[in-house]
Amino acid sequence: MSPRRPSRYHRKNSRTELYPAKGRDAKMMSQTDGQLHMAVDTGGTFTDVAVRGEDGQMSVWKLPSTPTAPDDAVIAGVEGALERVGRSPGELTRFVHGSTVATNTVITRDGARVGMVTTRGFRDVLAIAHQSRPAIYDQHKRRPEPLIPKEAIVEASQRMDADGAVLVDLDEVSLAETVKPLATLELDVIVVSFLNAYVNPEHEQRAVAVVQDAGVASQVVAATSISAEMREYERSSTAAINAYVSPKITGYIQRLEQGLTAAGMKTSWRMMQSSGGLLSPSDAADHPARTVLSGLAGGVVGAANWSQHLGLQRTVSFDIGGTSTDIALIRDGVPDETLASEIAGLPLKLPAVDVHTIGAGGGSIAWLDPGGGLRVGPHSAGAEPGPISYQRGGKAPTVTDAHVVLGRLGHELLGGEFQLDAAAARNAMVAWGETIGLSAEDTAEGILRVITATMSRGIRKVSVERGIDLRTCDLMAFGGAGPLHAADLAQELGMQSAVIPPRPGIASAVGMLDAPIRHDYATSVEAKTGAALEKLQQIFETMRARAAEQLDDPQAETNYDLLVDARYIGQSYELTVEFDADWERQRAIFEDMHEQNYGFADPDALMEIVVARLVVTQQLEHGALESVASITADVTPSSHRDVYIDGAWRDVPIYDRATFGAKTVIAGPAVIEQFDSTIYLRPDQMAENDTYDFLHIRQATEQE
């Protein structure tokens, strides 16, 4: 286990921050509180912990992750955080966990040994992939290698047509002989993926039984049990990813379960999935591919809930970390979703929040292209060695170093626990600036302008390219570096405001506290006329019956969303829309969505429905939001610092955000510091704190 921190913590006004105290003790969370919620979000560098009491009082903590044994940091975080607020694991009434174990397993190619049985003639389905190319004009660019090597793939004699009718029956005797050579490869999992099995999975299920009896692998799964939808490459890839991460996820969940039980936790717990919902540990072990993007989902779910609370109609969720920036569009409190995401260049056909990730973060490295142009990212200094100012051996100037040189960042982070070497960052910026004929300050400003342009393109990708006017949007900025860039981006893009949540650097953990329990079901169908809708209703009832068997608490209030994938006949891809039992209304719903997404509808084209979907959610009771109404609105700067703004040094006030109350108003320029992040405010902006500690940054008016 990771070493624990000292059991002292610092409380400012009514808010508890889990970091060493500076002269004041804190009040413990009341032992009489009925509810005690905890979320732990494991990242590559830090594991974030959020603890919430009955009254909404939130305590947060960061501790180093333990990549070789991620569960160690989780257990240490649970025990350490609760110790610091005077509570015990046995008092927890809700525990949720977001993990990057599946993500990192795929990225680092450190997963299981997987084999595959496929239809004769389709052995190369994973290698051929689809027509899309990662970089159409780069002749040296190559697709990532499949997770299953060709020597571990065998073919079976069987074939079904697109309607599920048997063309060639499965030869079980031949299959039993064909898979025997796979025993020498010592495989962990074998995937059975047959052409058109999404319509009729009978052959896949029979083949699974045959391969299991052959004893050539400890686990055999049918691809249709992971994703039962059309497009054989995407379906096979999803099943391969699921198999590849399965042993690691299963082992991780078992160790974590044992550790939490040993620590004294009694409540059942949940894992975050890519769709933004929660699932049980047993479901996560059965379908680990559903957790591959869980690290991205927590923050988006939080941003969606906060947007709904604040009454924001259109919000861009903007999460900046050390290496990348994750961007998502939220409409009326609901994040956009996708059924076709990717992980490490491999398609994943499962529901997920629609997050656009770009290689731009605090550790992004500045460099010159062959034409002498200044570029920033996507290469990153990462956590090791990190930016120059981190004093860990970094040599290349980064975005974080630019903030330090300009004075936006001071000499320390994390409440003084992390020291920054401003002199080293400046010396490096001076030397690097000489190569392009600029001063250290102008070089640093140039780095930030370039990264702002990169981030702006990413925001336009999820908004303007989807027909959304950014002038009607608000920016919800979080992550350790999000609040440093929010003011510049809101001004650059003409957005209504930038909103900084109470604890932006740990927002993913805080956000997942109120995520719903969620189950997704999908059935391939064929409906081209209104007469076929009656059959769809029967299919929905069948899926509802399946859901009733899987829900831990069937008596809890449950929401059933009936959806369909529809398209014009002849189109290659579909739109997922709400189901309506009337064909004309169904078409109107589809065409309205088609016009929103593509700018037109075609009333003369025929429509077809190809997939019926059921999304089952059980919303956990939302915890109370922490109020700062009792804290005075009047604040004074804790210090002043020189900050380089638009070509000149200015004396800028530095504020401690923990002193902000409801209706606290700050005029720019200003720097606002807190334990987990730093907020920069431009000279032409003002920031106002609301009752629930959300900071709203807007353009200042002449009267202000």
CA-to-CA distance for 674 and 660, rounded, in angstroms? 11
For residue 165, give the 3-state DSSP assignment.
coil
The residue length of the chain stands at: 704
Question: Which pLDDT value is given to residue 680?
Answer: 96
C-alpha of 408 from chain center: 27
**Amino acid code (one letter) for 544:** R
pLDDT at 419: 80
- C-alpha torsion sign, points 371, 375, 377, 381: positive
Cβ-proximal residues to 396 (8 Å cutoff; 6+ apart), any chain: 365, 366, 367, 381, 388
pLDDT at res. 417: 66
Cα-Cα-Cα-Cα dihedral sign, residues 326, 501, 689, 667 = negative
pLDDT, average across residues 626-651: 91
Residue 219: which of 192, 197, 249, 194 has the closest Cα? 192
Q: Any bridge partners for residue 259, and if so which?
A: none
User: Ranked by mean pLDDT, which of 1-10, 53-62, 146-155, 316-325 comes out on top?
Assistant: 146-155
- 547: enclosing H helix or E strand: helix 533-550
Please tell me the predicted confidence (pLDDT) of residue 359.
85
Give the strand pairing for 497-500 and 575-578: unpaired
Question: E-assigned strands of 288-413?
Answer: 314-320, 325-331, 334-335, 337-338, 341-343, 346-348, 352-353, 356-358, 364-368, 374-380, 412-413
Give the model's pLDDT for residue 6.
28
How large is the average pLDDT for residues 91-97? 95
Q: What is the pLDDT of residue 392?
A: 79
Topology adopted by domain 517-618: Dna Ligase; domain 1 (3.30.1490)
Element (DSSP H or E) covering residue 459: helix 440-462
Does the pLDDT at position 686 exceed 50? Answer: yes
pLDDT at 139 over 80: no
| Residue of higher predicted confidence among 107 and 205 | 205
Report d(CA 267, CA 38) in Å as an integer: 11
* Rounded mean pLDDT, 206-229: 94
Model confidence at 2: pLDDT above 50: no
Please report the pLDDT score of residue 504 as a whole number. 92
What average pLDDT does the structure give for the chain?
A: 88
pLDDT digits (tens, 9 = 90+) for 555-611: 889 999 999 999 999 998 899 999 999 999 999 999 999 998 888 999 999 999 999
Token pair for residue 676? Answer: 């987990």
Task: Give dist(CA 302, CA 96) in Å, integer.
Answer: 13
Q: What is the mean pLDDT of residues 340-352?
A: 89
Q: Are 350 and 238 in contact (CB under 8 A)?
A: yes
pLDDT beyond 90 at 221: yes
CA distance to 388, 393, 410, 671, per residue, from 422 (Å): 9, 14, 8, 17
DSSP 420: -
- Residues with Cβ within 8 Å of residue 111, at least 6 apart in sequence: 105, 147, 244, 245, 247, 248
Q: Full-prediction pTM beyond 0.75? A: yes
* Domains of the chain, residue spans: 111-246, 364-449, 517-618
Euclidean distance between CA atoms 306 and 478, whole angstroms: 12
Please give the structure tokens belonging to residue 328: 């998502």
Confidence of residue 415 (pLDDT cuts 50, 70, 90): low
